[in-house]
Amino acid sequence: MKERLSDLSYKDIFDAQFTLYAGNPVIKNFGFSFVAADPSLLTPDCSPTGQWHLFCHTFTGIYRLDSADGVNFEKPRKICGRAMRPNINLIDGRYYLFYERTRTLMGNALTLLGGKWKSEIYLTESCDLEHWTSPKLVIGQTRPFEKDEYGQMISNPFLIREGDKFKLYYSCGQTFIKDCGFTEPKYISYAESERIGEGYVSRPEPIIKPDPQSEYFNLCSGCLKVYKLSDRYIGLQNGIFQKEGKSHSAILLLSSEDGDNFEFGKVLLSNQMQGDSDWMAQYVYASHLTYFNGELRLYFNARNTSNNLKGREGIGFCSAKL
């Protein structure tokens, strides 16, 4: 049995038969938030306690939820406020949590009244998942395409290690989605550094732009999660697209020889009814692919409807045995 995700091939992922977990969503929106979103996970082999650890965000910040099986999660514990879209990493025995840092909750709310959005990518570190360093800025706005009429959005960080360098993928720019009443990330780019916590230099141009001819990201690019396999890179992109007068999102499997230029492989997971539940009826959003004990799990968040009053986001997963 192959031990790590990096041992798998593109064919392993492409041919995997994913099945939705019957008990989805495993995490529903909690507290005063309408959303629980953007899961990022540590599998038990990367845990100081041998558990699954899931990081996600709500309107009030980033939370950690622990589980013995990755299905039944304990009470959320808050990590930090003014924070969303987390990405947790274990590198050389230390935990690095990258995330999108926003303005205050009130400042974010003002965007619904016409105010401009502002966010950047920050980092906090820990040796035990309990005690965290003071957050510090990692990537701010340095390229013209990262800022527009809606403000400045630098979001959806996702780190990979490339030998003695680090590559931090991120979303940027904004597209207003009419039926939602809010913006979604327009472009995907990345920045590189020789030091994990500082010195990142962003590409002069994005690597993925919205494509009016694309069936799956004709509105905007969403976010991208990149994994280096034994024979190439894969990307999991949740593009935002318009179909029959409504916006939707699905998770796409992409492939790349260099981590820069990605080609469409197939739709990995589409928006749909799950039995009698509409929890993922209109949008399937940001995902995190894990591999543990011969099982692939794709955790993701989904939204039932674009309606601002009725819309709810929760987190579920689908899995495949190899």
Tokens (6 digits) for 276 = 């009698």
pLDDT tens for residues 75-95?
999 999 999 999 999 999 999
pLDDT at residue 107 tops 70: no
What pLDDT score was predicted for residue 104?
77
User: Closest Cα to residue 100, out of 38, 165, 145, 30?
Assistant: 38
pLDDT at residue 111 tops 90: no
The second-level CATH assignment, the architecture, of 5-321 is 5 Propeller (2.115)
Domain ranges of the chain: 5-321
pLDDT at residue 17 tops 90: yes
Rounded-to-integer distance, Cα 99 and Cα 152, Å: 15
Tokens (6 digits) for 180 = 């939602």
pLDDT at residue 114 tops 90: no
What pLDDT score was predicted for residue 174?
97
- How far CA 98 is from CA of 73, 92, 119, 159, 168, in Å, comes to 22, 16, 13, 8, 9
What pLDDT score was predicted for residue 109?
64
Q: What is the pTM of this model?
A: 0.97
- Is residue 311 classed exposed, middle or buried when 0-12, 13-18 and 19+ CB atoms within 10 A define those classes? middle
User: Closest Cα to residue 276, out of 2, 13, 3, 24?
Assistant: 24
pLDDT-derived band at 110 (thresholds 50, 70, 90) equals low
pLDDT tens for residues 122-171?
999 999 999 999 999 999 999 999 999 999 999 999 999 999 999 999 99
Helix/strand/coil (H, E, C) string of the chain? CCCCHHHCCHHHHHHCCCEECCCCCCECCCCCCCECEEEEEECHHHCCCCCEEEEEEECCEEEEEEECCCCCECCCEEEECCEEEEEEEEECCEEEEEEEECCCHHHHHHHHHCCCEECEEEEEEECCCCCCCCCEEEECCCCHHHEECCEECEEEEEEEEECCEEEEEEEEEEEEECCCCEEEEEEEEEEEECECCECCEECCCCCECCCCCCCCCCCECCCEEEEECCCCEEEEEEEEEEECCEEEEEEEEEEECCCCCEEEEEEEECCCCECCECCCCCEEEEEEEEEECCEEEEEEEEECCCCCCCCCEEEEEEEEEC
264-268: Cβ within 8 A, 24+ apart = 264/216, 265/10, 265/14, 265/234, 266/14, 267/216, 268/18, 268/236, 268/298
Mean pLDDT, to the nearest integer, of 291-320?
A: 97
What pLDDT score was predicted for residue 1?
80
pLDDT at residue 219 tops 90: yes
**Based on C-alpha coordinates, what's the Rg of the chain?**
18
Q: What percent of the chain lies above the pLDDT cut of 70?
A: 97
Helix/strand/coil (H, E, C) string of 225-275? EEEECCCCEEEEEEEEEEECCEEEEEEEEEEECCCCCEEEEEEEECCCCEC
Q: Rounded to the nearest 5°, which phi and psi values hold at 146?
A: -85, -5
- Type of residue at 305: T
pLDDT at residue 113 tops 70: no
Sequence-separated (6 or more) residues with CB below 8 Å from residue 259: 160, 162, 167, 226, 228, 233
